[in-house]
Amino acid sequence: MAFITYKNVGIRAMAACVPSNIVYNKDLGYLIPEEEIEKTINAIGIRERRISDANTCSSDLCFKAAKKLIEDNEIDVNTIDVLLFLSQTPDYKMPATAPLLQNRLGLPNTTASLDLNLACSGYIYGLSSAFAYASQQGINRVLLLVGETFTKLTSPYDKVNWPLFGDAGTATIIEKGDYCDSYFELMTDGSGAKSLIIQAGEFRNPTTVENLQITEREDGNKRSDHQIYMDGMDVFNFTLRVVPKAIKNMLAALSIQPDDIDYFLFHQANKFMIDFIVKKLKIDTVKVPYCIDRFGNTSSASIPLTIVSELESKVRENEKIILCGFGAGLSWGTVYTELKNCAISSLIEY
């Protein structure tokens, strides 16, 4: 079990950017029978989403978030030692996107830049990687950029997935300082990998004329093998099996109770799922911020987006938080940390 403790490292500041284009799930009459639309919206908890245009990538949204964070906090870019970019929607197969962002942001050539690839649990894994780098001698500050444009990977004719996903980019500064101990638990079950998968387009299943075709699949959904497939019931059962246990494990490891935590930040998968977890764990709903109703499931960006959109424009002081991400891989991760004098920028649009 990967249970990791980091000392004297913490989150200094956060920012996020979403596309300005808003789409409304009430307008999905072409995909879902009109009489079922409101029922679908209530079940998933998503009324509107932000969708990027054809020329906007995850890196563009992350770039805007990073610029906002740097300007708001008057951060000297020369003090950023490591840049991590985490996404499943990079600019290119090669080169990695992190060096491109290093150049765009004007970071020095002494900045180590690295891409990470993980979906719904990605922010937790990326945060752990950032804490690990910042813990090392010679590294004081890490810029973690996490963003997705998952709508580019989703068929608009897939009634399971199209109402769910939205796009966003986020930026987090992690640095050495007088911070509390932070605790991470990271876990994986690759036996469930095919429950949430894009089946074609890489080297295991290269692109062909045939797998580019959008064809009718289960329950009348239409998509190509280059677009997201999700077995909703498998993912739902996985989540309800592992997430409550992961939260309980973290609380037990630290000998604390839910009442000791100021906020629980969950990956914004769908509202019914989160509500079930909250009820099972007997967490006060006031402690569980949501942003899924306005932004949808933004995959790895959903946890930092929730923090920025729901706790924005305030410096958080010594608030105890638990973050939990879960999804494709299958993988999941939980972290306990504190927001000590953490500056959260107001949400911006691009």
Q: What residues are labeled active site?
A: 120, 267, 297
Q: In Å, how far are 252, 275, 323 from 71, measured between CA atoms? A: 40, 36, 26
User: Tokens 């079950």 appear where?
Assistant: 189
Among candidate residues 280, 206, 208, the one with its CA nearest the CA of residue 240: 280
Phi, psi values for residue 204, rounded to 5°: -70, -35
CA distance 229 to 193: 11
Q: How far is CA 71 from the centre of its chain?
A: 23
Q: In Å, how far are 52, 117, 191, 207, 223 from 226, measured between CA atoms? A: 18, 17, 21, 8, 8
C-beta of residue 314 within 8 angstroms of C-beta of residue 286: no
What pairs with residue 322 in β-bridges? 264, 336
> Where on the phi/psi map is residue 244: left (φ > 0), alpha (ψ -120 to 50), or beta?
alpha
Among candidate residues 349, 346, 296, the one with its CA nearest the CA of residue 15: 346
Using DSSP's 3-state secondary structure scheme, residue 157 falls into: coil
Tell me which amino acid residue 321 is: I
Residue 327 DSSP label? E
Helices and strands counted in the chain (H then E):
8, 19
